[in-house]
A and B are shown apart, each in its own frame.
Chain A
Amino acid sequence: MKQNETPEDVPDAVPPASENGSGADGGSASAKPPARPGGKPPLSRERLQQARRKWLRTILLTGGVTGAALSGFLPLVYARTKRLRPPGALDEKDFLSSCIKCGQCVQVCPVQAIKLADLIDGFGVGAPYIDAREQACDFSCDAVQCILACPTGSLVYKKPAFLGVRKGAKLAGAPILKAKEKDAEPTLNLAERIGVARLARPEACLAIQGKGFKGQVRGAGFNARMRYMEVDRWKPIKIADHPYDLAECDLCVRECPVKGAISIETVYAPDGSLRKSPVVHEPCVGCGVCEMICPVEPTCIVVEAREVWNT
């Protein structure tokens, strides 16, 4: 960003040589002013000086504006964390180029899972993302409203033909929404996943330790909301208002909105013994509800944004 607002450039009687030392343009003020084409009288030294200064200022503003604009590249180059984009998002590069940064997806989301990125995202400023730990997408709108709202096709039900689909990003079948399982049309209109859940800290997982969970998930002050079918199909409530009492913790499996995406399985521990553990399966779309609902701090299960399914 430029910080050149010092008004030192006031045209006064500064001898031209003092400013010419570094200036590459204009140059020889000591020489006679050149005659202008068309037989016009030559410009006075003062006018020439003014013209040169105006030119310098123009270069300055050009440099400042383009520099500031191009600095948007840096966060892309140095990005440490990948942003989880809303469902139906195109691949990152295409997503950023097509997103018009209007936030209509933010406005339609019933649980307000979508936020807009700030200046630190560079070219991604104003582009939507989901912080799954704070508020994940639980598909409580049923229809993936954000895709419906997107005016530029950054979020799509189905990618246009000219955009490639990364291997493993495509879902084997349309995901079945557990909430809609009894409906005539139980599936979610989503062709690709936005990420994949991964058990990041199995050592802390309550299910693996065989522990239960009782009380409010992540405390009374946790503001995230979720749809509970047994409470109200259309009105998501605060998770804090829905306490649990589980003999064995299976929150990530219980609250996963997609059928068959995660289950508790009996697996071999590294020491050869048998134990229970949450296991992620292919239908996982990467919505992040498991990350949001995990009662351990920090979370045991995370969504790897833009990750694909590797078999």
Chain B
Amino acid sequence: MNSFLKRRFFDQIAVMFGRESRKPTAIAPQAQTIHLYKRGNRDLIAEKLHARAHALHTHKWRNRRWATLLFVNLFFTVSFWLDIQILEGALTASRFIGFHLIDLNSALQVMLAHKHIIVNLVIGTGTVLVLWLLLGGRTFCSWVCPYHLLAEWAESIHLWLVKKKLVTDQAIDRRLRTGSWLVFATLAVATGYTVFESISPTGIVSRALIYGPGLALLWVLALLVFEVFFSRRAWCRYACPIGLTYGVVGIFSPVRIKYTLEGCFHEGDCRKVCLVPHVLDTVIKGRAVDTQIPIGPDCTRCGLCVDTCPTGSLKFEVKGLSKLL
């Protein structure tokens, strides 16, 4: 990693905690050459129009992701209903063929509230930690969290309403998420209750899927209504401490989206579909600090940008593995 990428690496961590993304102060010479080449290049404009006309819109990654998400969540349900005992429990804590798996944020809440840690909790948390270290932190959000899928559907209603000019997206300060992480951690320590668990839509929806619906779903519904009519993807973007917990885990993760500057037309389609567009600030014209840039830890690896990119400038990458292949 060169100094430009290193600076961006730390920059993106700060961005994850809520800082606004900034223009880079220094850009690698190779990247500068490309930026310069692209400026006012007529051939490039023609090429862009051509690519636009022939762009193929796929939902490859979205479909794979939805299938995975539904499979994981319904596997819990089926395992319980058929009593096959392969995957027992809910997303907060479970056992997969006997191995403990415990959600990192739930485990954190319990540890902070109860102030006592038993062996099974450590084992389960450790297993999940390694899993998401490898698969990429917030990958949990978009590939497993059932609320993410509901919110995605609510988002499409929101975007339709926006198109009809019936609502506008009201942005909220992203530092709120770091704040809510701290608030709920403090509340857990101070009150001795796992306060966040009582409103966590991930836990509520997961339990509803497995053990049957309850009144707690009303809270989830309220969140969705808020997101449809007021602020796009508000919970996942601005409030959910689970996202931050997994984001931190994903800082060193080898699975990520890689951006290649060269072919990019800088049209910003990717930023329009992205849940966390601040991680894609690098695709803005003249912002890329290097020719190839890994996208930051707040990225949920949902693959919507990969699907939507007309030039293939955004791709999934497994660090180390891609070199081997």
Contacts and interface: CB of A to CB of B under 8 A. Distances in A.
B195 A55 contact: no
A69 B199 contact: yes
Given A4-B226, A72-B199, A104 B193 contact: no
Contacts of B67: none
B322 to A, nearest CB: 36
Interface in A1-22: 1-7, 9-11
A99 B187 CA distance: 16
Contact of B93 (A10, A124, A151, A160): A151
A142 B199 CA distance: 35
A152 B93 contact: yes
A68 B198 CA distance: 9
Interface of B is mostly: helix
Contacts of A57: 170-172, 231
Nearest to B176: A58
A5 B118 contact: no
Contact of B121 (A65, A108, A151): A151
Given A5-B228, A151-B124, A160-B116, A104 B199 contact: no
A122 B187 CA distance: 15
B254 interface: no
Interface in B147-200: 166-168, 170-173, 175-176, 179-180, 183-184, 187, 191-199
Contacts of A88: none
B309 to A, nearest CB: 29
B140 to A, nearest CB: 16
A124 B91 CA distance: 17
A153 interface: yes
Given A57-B231, A69-B184, A119-B219, A2 B89 contact: no
A94 B230 CA distance: 39
A54 B18 CA distance: 14
Contacts of B175: 58
A162 B116 contact: yes
Interface string B206-250: 010011001110110010011011110010001100000000000
A289 B177 CA distance: 47
Nearest to B79: A107
Contact of A68 (B85, B166, B219): B219
Contacts of B234: 61
B209 to A, nearest CB: 11
B218 A119 contact: yes
A123 B194 contact: yes
Interface residues of A, number: 55
A14 to B, nearest CB: 14
A101 interface: yes
A68 B228 contact: no
A98 B113 contact: yes
A67 B231 CA distance: 19
B193 A97 contact: yes
Contacts of A11: 168
A130 interface: no
A111 to B, nearest CB: 13
A299 to B, nearest CB: 26
A311 to B, nearest CB: 31
Contact of B168 (A2, A6, A7): A7
B225 A5 contact: yes
A153 B180 contact: no
Contacts of B110: 97-100, 152
A62 B179 contact: yes
A58 B239 CA distance: 10
Interface string B300-324: 0000000000000000000000000
Listed from nearest, the 6 A-B pairs whose CB atoms lie closest are A102-B93, A5-B229, A97-B113, A153-B118, A118-B214, A119-B215
